Amino acid sequence: MLRQVTATRYVEPLRSGGSVPGVFEADDLGTYVVKFTGSAQGRKALVAEVIVGELARALGLRFPELVLVDFDPAVADDEPHQEVRDLHAASAGRNLGMDYLPGARDFTPEVAEEFPVDPLEAGRIVWLDAFTANVDRTVHSSNLMIWPTFGTAPPHLWLIDHGAALVFHHRWDTSAPEKTYDFRHHALGHYGPDVRAADAQLAPAVTEELLRAVVAEVPDDWLTGFPTAAEAREAYVGYLHARVRASAAWLPTDFPSREERAAEEALRAARTQQGRPKWLKRVPDLHGAPAVENDGTVHLG
């Protein structure tokens, strides 16, 4: 079972995502990124974090340890922003913590140009995302970290943030286990991910016994949509077991090259600019693509 700790000191909020997690120290002397039950994404996001994160670790992928965090909002009384204080107040009790990776770097497109990733490692990560319907690991938001970034130990890719995965649990009655998702713009797509080798390696490892053990890590009160927590657990195990057996149907294999992706980005940027008023023509779009004038002039910011 996931270890349980108690938050003892508030370090800072993290505003890079919509859920506004916080960094806390705990009574085990560890430091954790805490995601809250009261966030707008709801408890299903925490269910996805637990199931996908623990699956990743069980399959040998690098993912920080998860813990259950007992949180008293009084610990963060010095938080100055009211919306964050409201989030804390709505999240008293048990929340989810992820081991903090000090000094870790975001895996951005700029960093990716210099960081080698083995095709099998890329394939294993893409396979996990396709299996768990995690469409939120893209070139614009990789949810990957490089760590460590100091000392003599070699840096590695670490997976984080799986709250948007398991999209099927938002509509149980309409999602088929063999459903395919678009992974052409996966953050690791241009590394030539060997998803077939990954499937041969990982699919047999995802047994019904493993799924039961992973789903058992989720607290009862986070499981919704069914009369009982036991029925919810059976639904997760049954769906994921059926999905892994249908991997031939959903295995992604079509990834654009760097050049194809750059051309698609330039076309998207040009289309974005066409719909903007004249005074906004020089303003980059929200994804950081270059601004393009009507005469084709490109502005980088």
| pLDDT tens profile 142-168 | 999 999 998 899 999 999 999 999 999
Which residues are CB-contacts of 154 (< 8 A; sequence separation ≥ 6)?
none
- 235, burial (CB in 10 Å: exposed 0-12, middle 13-18, buried 19+): middle
Q: Which of 151, 124, 158, 128 shows the shortest CA–CA distance to 48?
A: 128
- Average predicted confidence (pLDDT) for the chain: 90
Helix, strand, or coil (residue 299):
strand
SS3 69: strand
Among candidates 115, 126, 120, which has minimal Cα distance to 157? 115
Residue 299 predicted with pLDDT over 50: no
> Which residues sit opposite 70 in a β-bridge?
6, 94
E strands present in 36-164: 66-71, 93-99, 105-106, 144-147, 156-159
Q: In angstroms, rounded to a whole number, what is the distance separating the alpha carbons of residues 133 and 196? A: 17
| Locus of tokens 């700029």 | 110
Bridge partner residues of 291 (DSSP): 299
Contact assessment for residue 117 and residue 191, using Cβ atoms and an 8 Å cutoff: yes
- Reported as a single tens digit per residue, the pLDDT across 213-259 is 999 999 999 999 999 999 999 999 999 999 999 999 999 998 987 77
Lowest-pLDDT range of 16-20, 85-89, 273-277: 273-277
- Report yes or no: 21 and 36 within 8 Å, Cβ to Cβ: yes
pTM beyond 0.85, yes or no: yes
pLDDT of 182 > 60? The answer is yes
Identify the pLDDT of residue 204. 98
The torsion defined by the Cα of 185, 108, 154 and 255, in degrees rounded to 10, comes to 10
**With pLDDT > 90 as the criterion, what percentage of the chain qualifies?**
77
